[in-house]
Amino acid sequence: MSFDTAVPALKSRIHGCLLGGALGDSLGYAVEFDPITEIRRRFGADGLTGFEALGGGSHFSDDTQMTLYTVDGLVEALEWANSGVGADVNACLWLAYLRWLATQGETPDPAAPAPQPRWIDGHTVLHQRRHPGNACISGLATGEMGTAARPVNPDSKGCGTVMRSAPFGLVPHVTPDAVYKLSADAAALTHGHPSARQSAGIFSLLIHRLVAGEALADAATAVASHASSMDGVAPELPGRLNAAIRLAGQGIVTPEELVAELGEGWVAEEALAVALYAVLATSPAGADSSPDAHFRDALAVAVNHSGDSDSTGSVAGNILGAYYGEACLPDGWLEALEAPEVIRGMADLLVRVTTGEG
């Protein structure tokens, strides 16, 4: 059997990336705090391999919530630009994240601005508190707009930067350097450690290269090389990326070996490395393998370990959704996804402001 190899349209890649990330997040969220021994006890030797084992579905976490608010911040900045008015992109993102903070029942310092509500804020599913990252909450609650030069949470390197940063790579007609800077600057709104900011930028750059049509392995090698060459790079970032690529060359390893080599994914560079390994190690060798089979296989690797399964699953889903477009998303999984209309609605907004498509 052969499968359609047509190049995905940008609209399909945007929808695929956001929906794929939400699917990976949802699958991983069901086992996020379970060690691999408990995952095997609950779901069998192969672990959690699909929504069928969950009785039909699962909630997505703060990872998807914050990804959608990243989209909203970018959309607002692009709306201003399309109307001929320049806008500070990072300020728009900060305001979007402050609105997300309010959905979590948190109130920032009185010095923070009071952003006006937007369409995204009216959806109750985004007001559910789903184990938000401590640094995301505390960084925004300061009421200060963090920057790379004056970061909030200067020692925080949690994966809360990476898991929300795919949308920067989805904006067309932007240079790679600009993609990296937009993402890294936005990461500084909550996390100050260089690896947290740099990992977010490299992840967005990976998405950008995939959307531009690069092969998965080529894009992975390119961003790992880019990370290695950056001035002032946190050495753990290229170290983990190169380890992920090497490990993928060995094929599928056990979850125990995975975390021993790449970490559990709680910090930024580890989450990116685990997800990158998962999509590369399961990459089909022949033309007869379907995109949705690759997606299923990769997500099974990405979430079945003793670590931050929702974030590693989310990042892996973002990667394959950007690469294949919607063709990789299993129909049965989409039927089990929470609030797909909200995710598609935000994807449509991003499509509209970047391409003019209705």
Residue 209: both structure tokens together: 């290269």
3 state SS of 69: helix
Predicted pLDDT of residue 2: 41
Rounded to an integer, what distance in angstroms lies between the CA atom of residue 197 and that of residue 311?
A: 16
3 within some domain: no
311 is in an annotated binding site: yes
Predicted pLDDT of residue 289: 77
Mean pLDDT by 10 residues, the chain (358 residues): 71 98 98 97 97 88 98 98 94 98 96 96 97 97 94 95 98 97 98 97 98 98 98 98 98 98 98 98 80 98 98 98 98 96 98 91
Cβ–Cβ under 8 Å, residues 135 and 190:
yes
Rounded CA Rg of the chain = 19
Predicted pLDDT of residue 134: 96
Number of domains in the chain: 1
310 is in an annotated binding site: yes
228 is in an annotated binding site: no
40: which residues sit within 8 A by CB, 6+ positions away?
47
1 within some domain: no
| Start-to-end CA span in the chain (Å) | 35
Predicted pLDDT of residue 1: 39
228 within some domain: yes
Instruction: Say which CATH number the domain at 302 has.
Output: 1.10.4080.10
2 within some domain: no
83 is in an annotated binding site: no
The helix or strand, by DSSP H or E, that contains position 80, with its residue range, turns out to be: helix 62-82
Range of the domain at 287: 10-355
4 within some domain: no
